[in-house]
Amino acid sequence: MIIRNAIEDELSFIREQRLDAYTEHAPKIPEEHWKVLKQSILSDGDIQPGVERMVAEIDGVIVGSVALFSPEIKAYEGLLEDELDYPELRMLAIAPQARGKGVATALINECIQRSKAKGFSAMGLHTADFMENAIKLYGHLGFERLPQFDFEPTNDGIVVKAFRITF
């Protein structure tokens, strides 16, 4: 497996793969919440300065991706009262056929290494309970809950929960 920076020509493919990876959650949540999540997944918010996009390749095929947002970017503007002072991992997506092969862990570890290299002592992320496997993985990797940074984007009872790992 190779972890590398995504190139601009791959962004359309990455977004479609991201949508494919997240679509399994659509039946678990209200339709309006899925619309908001889908819009975020397909947005170009990951092309602004201060965002690093990475992909995982196996045998020359992209099987996963992630974006690492610097703390200067207000990734959740209007949703969080306090801004975060550490990088935020976002839009982690693994192709369904590549799950269980360590791809997510490799991408998360790359984000941690890049955050450390920039002098940060922590990295965060947000996810929701309907992403059961992701929550298990984050717990296994040592992420802690930070409920003070939770938010509810669509007022439907689904709380997007904050996690952070310190290093």
Provide CATH code, domain 2-120: 3.40.630.30
Indicate yes or no: pTM above 0.95: no
CB 143, CB 105: distance < 8 Å: no
Q: How far apart are CA 159 and CA 128, in angstroms?
A: 6
pLDDT tens string 126-156:
999 999 999 999 999 999 999 999 999 888 9
Strand residues in the chain grouped as ranges (E)? 2-5, 51-58, 61-69, 88-94, 122-128, 144-145, 160-166
Q: How far apart are CA 105 and CA 99, in angstroms?
A: 10
pLDDT tens string 10-34:
999 999 999 999 999 999 999 999 9
Q: How far apart are CA 146 and CA 150, in angstroms?
A: 7
Alpha carbon 45 to its chain's center: 12
